[in-house]
């Protein structure tokens, strides 16, 4: 395996599958199966999942709600997805631990870095819920932060697109996909991969990001095998 310890960032919206809202069980088990495969190869796996299939902080602001209030609701949405993913992984036979950035004693452990590391060493998949625990940060920022804290080798950003393009491939027929791109070029070309806070954290800590299509079964395994899948961003 090319990477020993990874942070997998999953999109909440992708969990909807073909549904308009909530969680598609087929998609959920598809993700669990893919994760199980790489887990069997001995990769240490930490996961951060978004909450956009349930609630988005920005959406609250549009409705006149205070932004931070909305962001906390979004953090709870990530907990629902995290619990669903935890259950799916465990029913696939993968041992997991869920840690929340906001204490929810009845549901899971609080985020404790040393405990998370221990879980990884013992071969447990660790899921981090509730983002960073702070409003005004995205789950991409949570993923970057946790990846850096845990010394992960890479962030694997699973999306619905198969990489980073020079332009929006749905609008521009001349858009081309990058196999490799530097952090600086992403800035210069104004390509959007993650929000700037998350992106800068990765750049400054020399943490590569691979953007790939998680919805195609087998892709996650290919990324771990070091095959050319998606786009890698690095210094």
Sites of contact with ligand GTP (CB under 6 A) = 97, 105-109, 118, 122
Q: Which is nearer to ligand GTP, 97 or 146 (CB)?
A: 97
Contact status, residue 136 vs residue 67, Cβ threshold 8 Å? yes
Non-local (6+) Cβ contacts of 27 within 8 A are 14, 15, 16, 17, 215
The nearest distance, CB 119 to ligand GTP, in angstroms, is: 6
- CA 153 to CA 32: how far, in whole Å? 21
The nearest distance, CB 155 to ligand GTP, in angstroms, is: 24
- The two three-digit tokens of residue 74, written as one number: 């979004």
3-class DSSP state for residue 148?
helix
Q: Which is nearer to ligand GTP, 120 or 191 (CB)?
A: 120
Q: Which is nearer to ligand GTP, 74 or 129 (CB)?
A: 129
- The two three-digit tokens of residue 105, written as one number: 């004693």
Q: Which is nearer to ligand GTP, 54 or 125 (CB)?
A: 125
For ligand GTP, which residue has the nearest CB? 109
Q: Which is nearer to ligand GTP, 39 or 56 (CB)?
A: 39
Long-range Cβ contacts of 109-117 (<8 Å, 24+ apart): 113/149, 113/150, 116/46, 116/146, 116/150, 117/150
The nearest distance, CB 53 to ligand GTP, in angstroms, is: 24
The nearest distance, CB 96 to ligand GTP, in angstroms, is: 8
The nearest distance, CB 123 to ligand GTP, in angstroms, is: 11
């Amino acid at each position: 395996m090319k990477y020993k310890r990874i942070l997998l960032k999953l999109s909440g919206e992708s969990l909807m599958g073909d549904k308009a809202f909530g969680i598609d069980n087929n998609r959920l088990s598809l993700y669990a199966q893919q994760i199980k495969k790489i887990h069997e190869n001995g990769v240490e796996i930490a996961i951060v999942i978004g909450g956009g299939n349930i609630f988005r902080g920005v959406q609250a602001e549009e409705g006149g709600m205070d932004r931070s209030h909305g962001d906390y609701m979004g953090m709870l949405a990530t907990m629902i997805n995290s619990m669903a993913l935890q259950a799916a992984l465990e029913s696939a036979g993968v041992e997991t631990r869920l840690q929340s950035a906001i204490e929810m004693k009845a549901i899971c452990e609080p985020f404790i870095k040393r405990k998370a590391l221990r879980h990884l060493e013992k071969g447990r998949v660790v899921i981090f819920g509730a983002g960073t625990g702070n409003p005004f940060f995205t789950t991409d920022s949570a993923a970057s932060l946790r990846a850096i804290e845990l010394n992960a080798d890479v962030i694997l950003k699973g999306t619905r697109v198969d990489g980073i393009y020079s332009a929006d491939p749905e609008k521009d027929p001349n858009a081309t996909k990058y196999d490799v791109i530097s952090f600086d070029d992403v800035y210069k070309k104004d390509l959007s991969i993650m929000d700037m806070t998350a992106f800068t954290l990765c750049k400054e800590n020399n943490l590569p990001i691979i953007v790939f299509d998680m919805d195609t079964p087998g892709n996650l395994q290919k990324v771990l095998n070091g095959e050319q899948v998606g786009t890698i961003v690095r210094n």
